[in-house]
A and B are shown apart, each in its own frame.
Chain A
Amino acid sequence: MDAVEILFTASLWAAAIRIASPLIFATLGELICERAGVLNLGIEGIMTVGAFSGWLTVYMGGSLWLGILAAAVAGSAFGLLHALLVVPLGLSQHVTGIGITLLASSLSYYVYRLVFPEVTSPPKIEPFQPWNVPVLSDIPVIGEALFRQTPLTYLAFAAVLLVSWFLYRTPMGLAVRTVGENPSAVEAQGIDVTWVRIAAVMAGSALMGIGGSFLTLSAFNSFFFDMVNGRGWICIALVVFGSWRPGKALLGALLFGLFDAYQLRLQQLAGGYVPYQVFLMLPFVLSIIALIVMSRRAAYPRALMVPYRKGER
């Protein structure tokens, strides 16, 4: 098999979609926050919390879907904390976000150790299994790649449609977008900017939590402390790549997943002549190049990182 042939294998594309799935959720989450004018650097920690709480719920006997719900609730709780600090109090969004990441990931591990003081190997759960969509999964290559995924991946794609519809087709979506561009205009409509922003950050953080739970409920079956491993930071870049639009963000996540799946396979092909670090670097380098090309004309939300103070002129 050579480097080009790999591109036509179903397993490459299936892997790309698997790798992209948690990124899709978390990127959508970050996108909602930023559209409302709030940068949420708590994403890495919130994903960790989601990964942990979702997994713990299932481990304690809850169903997998209850685990997803727990991840969303835990994510939004930390979203609320972030929002309270940066929206009404107007603190630095960078500093607060990093603080949330540190707090959320350390707290996850703290609770983990409280629950499991004496374990010799990481406890496991029974994760989501791939669910083949009838008929569609039999289509060669495309069907095999797209329709033999776990339910959580299908949910990720559904979430893209849902978020797009919400942002562009509902009055609430309009309010969210407007507080990120021109909060005074929202205020003039009699809508409370503070509450819209808090709600948007909570909703976005819930999605980040679900993204994290994909790692423990679908991609793997136990919780590891550092397992989010920078995926949250990638999502921050993917939002920029997607010019703050859900559809383009999906494209970005899929591209990153594809680059990663491709480098894993190239690494096997290269037979040790090229240092492995080059391959590990590849998805990031390619993403940076794609970012440069894609986001030349990107316009960020004008009120991003600008705290809104009522009556200020």
Chain B
Amino acid sequence: MSSNIFRFTRRDALKLSVAAAALPVLGGGLARAAGPIKTAAIYTVPVEQQWVSRIHKAATIAKDRGDIEYVFSEKVSNTDYERVMREYCEAGHQLIVGEAFAVEDAARAVAKDYPDRAFLIGSSFKPDAAANPNFAVFDNYIQDASYLTGIIAGALTKSGSIGLVGGYPIPEVNRLMNAFMAGVKESRADAKFQVAFIGSWFDPPKAKETALAQIDAGADLLYAERFGVSDAAKEKGILAVGNVIDTQADYPETVAASALWHFEPTLDAAIAAVKAGSFKADDYGQYSFMKAGGCSIAPYGTFDAKIPADVKAKVAEKEAAIKAGTFTVAIDDNEPKSS
């Protein structure tokens, strides 16, 4: 029986590997606010999708600028969302960007477990500073830009019948549709709306069929909340108005205007707060407002000559009023109805 004190047991190996794994975590936690902020984004959809593509773009810009180190996971299912969040927290990321529309409770629970990390999360709800002081929320509050595209749409429709196709009537979608409709009413008081939801985010053939049905029923201008709608408009030679991203390059003859979302002000505000050590459970929704540069109306492009000058003047006037704070576009999250 020779006992060897230098014997390396499996248990020792295990301890060592745990220690090795813990090292970078500790290192990450300590290296706070010095150099680029370690940022992780978790998306439930691919980065090509309208909404997420804007966040991804802003994060890439911030990365190129040297403000953040950026990693992301896309197409994370809601059932797996919490695990991915925790993994990024464990890996030492200081700023977690994501979307908790369907995992609100779980996301907030994770934030509670990692009080020294900053969470900037897309949400339909408000922040709760008492329960989660490090959980800030945002959403694409681009109703200002949607309203302006509505003014243009109201001026361009001939039949006065406008079709809107959406995925699901969630606040983010409703808000923009309602603002768009309010804008249309501004220039065409007797406009009629056909509102439809397809019950899916990713079924462009279905969105296209829905849009075609609206065209059959007399719509001569479509509000394209989903991919597929602009294709129906192009096929039938009628106009469409884009949302969140600018798709005019793909449909130069038919996409008349688009309301763009710019995530940069939201992200930059969060980065500044983390750097200053002052990140709080704020509502970052306001950074998507036109005042903050969070949204804009896309360049008229191919429609520069097709939109009447008086309409453009009206849009410019409203835009100035919105920026000056003398005019506010109502935020209405209720499900829009056909009229």
Contact = CB atoms under 8 A, between A and B. Distances in A.
B195 interface: yes
A124 B75 CA distance: 20
A122 B227 contact: yes
Interface residues of A, number: 37
Interface string B165-208: 00001000000000000000000000000111111111111101
B204 A120 contact: no
Contact of A229 (B197, B200, B210): B200
Nearest to B161: A268
Contact of B196 (A122, A260, A261, A268): A268
Name, among A119, A215, A225, the residue most crowded by chain B CB atoms within 10 Å (CB to CB): A225
Given A120-B48, A120-B53, A272-B338, A224 B202 contact: yes
Interface residues of B, number: 38
A269 interface: yes
A271 interface: yes
A221 interface: yes
A220 interface: yes
A50 B224 CA distance: 27
A136 interface: no
Nearest to B196: A267
Interface string B204-224: 111011101110110000000
Contacts, number: 94
A229 B206 contact: yes
Contact of A15 (B199, B201, B212, B217): B212
Contacts of A121: 48, 53, 245, 247, 250
A177 interface: no
A233 interface: no
Given A121-B245, A122-B227, A264-B196, A269 B205 contact: no
A139 interface: no
A272 B339 contact: yes
Nearest to B200: A229
Interface in A1-20: 1, 9, 11-12, 15, 18-19
A161 to B, nearest CB: 25
Given A109-B75, A271-B339, A276 B197 contact: yes
Contact of A220 (B48, B163, B208): B208
Contact of B204 (A19, A227, A276): A227
Contact of B202 (A12, A19, A124, A225): A225
Interface of A: 1, 9, 11-12, 15, 18-19, 109, 113, 119-122, 124, 215, 219-222, 224-227, 229, 260-261, 264-265, 267-272, 276-277, 280
Sort A-B residue pairs by CB-CB distance and give the 6 closest, nearest first: A272-B337, A219-B205, A264-B213, A272-B338, A226-B202, A268-B217
